[in-house]
Structure 1
């Protein structure tokens, strides 16, 4: 039950951070040698769902998690795309692509927040019915 909330919360955090990163990319669209960044979350989540990679088993609460995290603990990662430039000034930001990504991310954030609100509403309803 709480794993669902954690996953939705982590997805919302990743979407919020993606909004910040895209806004930063747009703000620096005319900065020479600026390299755009992106937020990785969905690919890491899919990898975790497929169970690919190495995952360690925690035998003590003070141990660090190694390898893949469980799905409900998956977090985002920021990656700078510095291996190419699309312009002569060394900048690789395409303003049209960034604006489209911003619109797409806005829809994703709204969808995730609606899902979390509905989930918490059902939980509240179950609690109130039990009195």
Structure 2
């Protein structure tokens, strides 16, 4: 795995941690009247980079090397797309729990990919004979 991908996964894990905080805040405010659900948008940019959608097709093109180059930031926004649930606010516990589960799976996958990369590096350093 290239160092660029490790950097992207590290940034991705940071974004997932932020998303976890946003989801937790939504859940904590489920009974707060007038609270507007928050969300964060970053996944599409990471997925396109990790899937190799952004490729260097000409020698004069500049190769992107990290999420910072892509301008990926914590894009937290108020999600006004849903109607208030029960007249209190627009937080839906089922939606939040589903997003929390998806976030946990993505975090675990990314963490394992990074750990696997460093395990391979340890094996190479040891000479593969341990």
TM bucket (normalised to shorter chain) is 0.7 to 0.9
* TM-score, normalised by the number of residues in structure 2: 0.73
Offset at residue 121 of structure 1 (A): 0.9
For residues 30-49 of structure 1, what are the structure 2 equivalents within 5 Å?
Answer: 30-46=31-47
2:112 and 2:48 mapped to 1: Cα distance? 25
1:81 and 1:32 mapped to 2: Cα distance? 15
Structure 1 residues 13-69: Cα deviation after superposition (integer angstroms, max 9, x where no partner): 111111111011000011111111112121123466545xxxxx99xxxxxxxxxx9
2:23 and 2:44 mapped to 1: Cα distance? 18
Name the residue aligned to 2:105.
Answer: 107
Are the aligned partners of 1:84 and 1:92 in contact in 2 as well (CA < 8 Å)? Answer: yes
* TM-score, normalised by the number of residues in structure 1: 0.73
Q: What is the RMSD computed on CA atoms of the aligned residues?
A: 2.5
The count of residues paired between Structure 1 and Structure 2 equals 114
Q: Which runs of 4+ in 1 moved over 4 A?
A: 46-51
| Structure 2 unpaired stretches of 5+ | 55-60
| Structure 1 unpaired stretches of 5+ | 52-56, 59-68
Work out whether 1:86 is the aligned partner of 2:87: no
Work out whether 1:124 is the aligned partner of 2:97: no
